[in-house]
Amino acid sequence: MDRWIAATHGAELRRAVDPVAVDLGYGAAPWTAVELLARLRVAAPHTRVVGVEIEPARVAAARPYERDGLVFRHGGFEIPVEGRPCLVRAANVLRQYDEDEVVGVWERLCARLAPAGQGSRGGLLVEGTCDEIGRRHVWVALGPEGPRTVTFATRLGSLERPTDLAERLPKALIHRNVPGEPVHAFLRDFDRAWAAAAPYASYGARQRWIRAVRDLAADWPVTDGPVRWRQGEVTVAWEALAPRV
Ligand SMILES: C[S@@+](CC[C@H](N)C(=O)[O-])C[C@H]1O[C@@H](n2cnc3c(N)ncnc32)[C@H](O)[C@@H]1O
């Protein structure tokens, strides 16, 4: 997720006068915030990261790890930072909430993002879910205007089939992986494309993934290209996967 953010949002962070990135709900240990800082500073050296946690004990535990460009604050969806952040990343936070709370939380968080204007699309909210070691990950990216894309990312060596990612769908989609819903049709088609690409497995899982995604892109609005596919990623326009109301 960090790698994808640096690649797709690095230019916005570089352009910002004071690029602030929020790691919302960083958890029991501060490592995701520490890693986010390191990743983003490669792309945009002036980036500052603020780790925000609703559990006061977790803020106290993280404070010894504050450093140049990294602080920890107690708070929640109000985002207790001055100004409008360039990035809010919420990994494995909304999965603890009910599905019908998601849109309201998204709206709150999107309203806190840096606005679009003068060659900028504005800040980015990246909200998703992963497995314990981050090898299977699905997230929604939203701008100030609302949801933009859904990204599926996996460590290819350990993938049996694309539907392995289904159990890591973000809260907005995980209950919609049922017949009749777009995300279910997408994952079904992805598995079919993966099966059809089996001959490419002899060149490695990466080649198989690239071939499968290329086929998938004939029917689904894939918004990225081979540079990202090589990383075991694929990004699709949100409207194509959004739940039917
Ligand atoms: C499962 S942990 C995720 C930790 C880390 N982001 C990761 O992906 O490894 C979820 C964290 O979100 C925090 N959390 C839940 N609701 C929150 C809110 N409204 N604002 C800030 N943090 C919240 C919890 O206290 C918990 O530490």
Q: Please, are residues 22 and 16 in contact by the beta-carbon 8 Å criterion?
A: no
From 23, 54, 87, 131, mutation site for ligand 1 pocket: most ligand atoms within 8 A of C-beta: 54
CA 176 to ligand 1 center in whole angstroms: 23
Q: What is the pLDDT of residue 188?
A: 98
Please state the rounded mean pLDDT for residues 102-114: 98
Nearest-CA residue for ligand 1 atom 22 is 25
Q: Look at ligand 1, atom 23, and give the residue with the nearest C-alpha.
A: 25
Tell me, in angstroms, the distance from the centre of ligand 1 to residue 93's CA.
5
Q: For residue 118, is pLDDT > 90?
A: no
Protein residue with least CA distance to atom 18, ligand 1:
76
The count of residues in the chain is 245
pLDDT category, 165, cuts 50, 70, 90? very high
Cα 25 to chain centroid distance, Å, stands at: 14
**pLDDT higher than threshold 90 for residue 88:** yes
Residue nearest to ligand 1 atom 12, measured at CA: 25
pLDDT at 245: 79
Q: Report in angstroms the alpha-carbon separations of 87 from 84, 124, 183, 189.
A: 9, 5, 26, 32
| Mean per-residue pLDDT, 98-118 | 97
Going from N- to C-terminal start, the domains of the chain cover: 2-130, 156-233
Look at residue 100 in the predicted model and tell me its pLDDT: 97
The neighbouring-strand residues paired with 137 are 130, 153
Residues with CB under 6 A from ligand 1: 24-27, 32, 52-55, 58, 76-77, 91-93, 96
205 falls in which pLDDT band (50, 70, 90)? very high
| Mean pLDDT along residues 93-116 | 98
- β-strands 48-53, 20-24: how paired? parallel
At 206, the amino acid letter reads R
Residues 6+ apart with CB under 8 A from 181: 243, 244
Ligand 1 atom closest to Cα of 58?
A: 27
Atom index in ligand 1 nearest the CA of residue 96 equals 15
Amino acid at 9: H
Q: CA-to-CA distance for 28 and 126, rounded, in angstroms?
A: 20
pLDDT one-digit tens code per residue, 11-34: 999 999 999 999 999 999 999 999
- Per residue in 43-80, pLDDT tens? 999 999 999 999 999 999 999 999 999 999 999 999 99
Q: Going by C-beta distance under 8 Å and a sequence separation of 6 or more, which residues neighbour residue 3? A: 39, 231
For the whole model, what pTM was predicted? 0.98
- Distance between CA atoms of residues 136 and 241, nearest Å: 18
Task: Give Rg (Cα) of the chain.
Answer: 18
Of 106, 38, 39, 34, nearest to 72 by C-alpha is 34
Residue 16 is predicted with a pLDDT of: 96
Would you state the CATH architecture of domain 2-130?
3-Layer(aba) Sandwich (3.40)
pLDDT score at 221: 98
Q: What is the pLDDT of residue 127?
A: 98
Angstrom distance (rounded) from CA 9 to CA 126: 11
